[in-house]
Amino acid sequence: MTLSEIRAQAIVPAMALLPASMYARPNAVDVLLLATHLQEAPNREQCQLPARPGQCGPARGIFQFERGGGVAGVLRHHASREHAVAVCDALGIEPTIDGIFNALPEQCDVLDAAMARLLYWTDRKPMPGVGDVEGAWQYYLDNWRPGAYSRGTTAQKYALRRKWAQNYARAMDEVLG
C-alpha cells in the first residue's frame, strides 16, 4: 500500500469520524501521521516483532499501538475517550482496550489512523507545523515514547532521528507533492 493509499483509505476516512477541529490543519495532520506510520511500520506491518512465529508482538497496526500503552492511553484520556468510543461505535468495534487492540491487526487501518490522531490530540502542546522536522520529532517522541529510542544507545538514537528526517521528508513530498 502506498502513502497515497494510506492517506486516502485510512487517514481521510478516520478524520471524517472525528471532530472537524482535529483536522483543521489537514496537511500538518497528514504529514505527522504518515511520518509516524513510516517510523513505526514502514512496510505496513500489522504486528511488531512476533514473540513466537504466528503471534504478534506487543504492538499492532500500521501505527504500532500497544494494548497497555497507546490503546489504553487514548481510551482513558479525558481529551480522547469520548471520541475513541464514537469511532469504535461507527466502525462496529467494541470500545474497550481489548476490542480495539484485537481489531488492529485485522487490517482496520481507519481505526488505527483515528487512534493515532487521538493520541496526538491528548498532547497539550500544539501540533508542529508542516516543515518543522525537529518539532515533529519531539512531538512524536513525547507521544509514542518509542522503546528503541529510550533504551537505545547514542548511535541507535542518532539512527532513529536520521530515519525520522527521511520519513518526514517522504511524508511532506506525499502531502505537498
Domain boundaries, the chain: 3-176
pLDDT band at 104 (very low <50, low <70, confident <90, very high): confident
Burial group, residue 64, by CB count within 10 angstroms (0-12, 13-18, 19+) = buried
pTM value > 0.85: yes
Task: List the alpha helices (DSSP H) in the chain.
Answer: 3-6, 12-16, 26-40, 72-76, 81-91, 97-103, 109-121, 133-144, 147-150, 154-176
pLDDT at 44 over 60: no
Q: What would the pLDDT profile of 138-147 be if each residue is shown by its tens digit?
A: 999 999 988 8
Q: What's residue 55's pLDDT?
A: 63
Q: Is the pLDDT of residue 45 over 70?
A: no
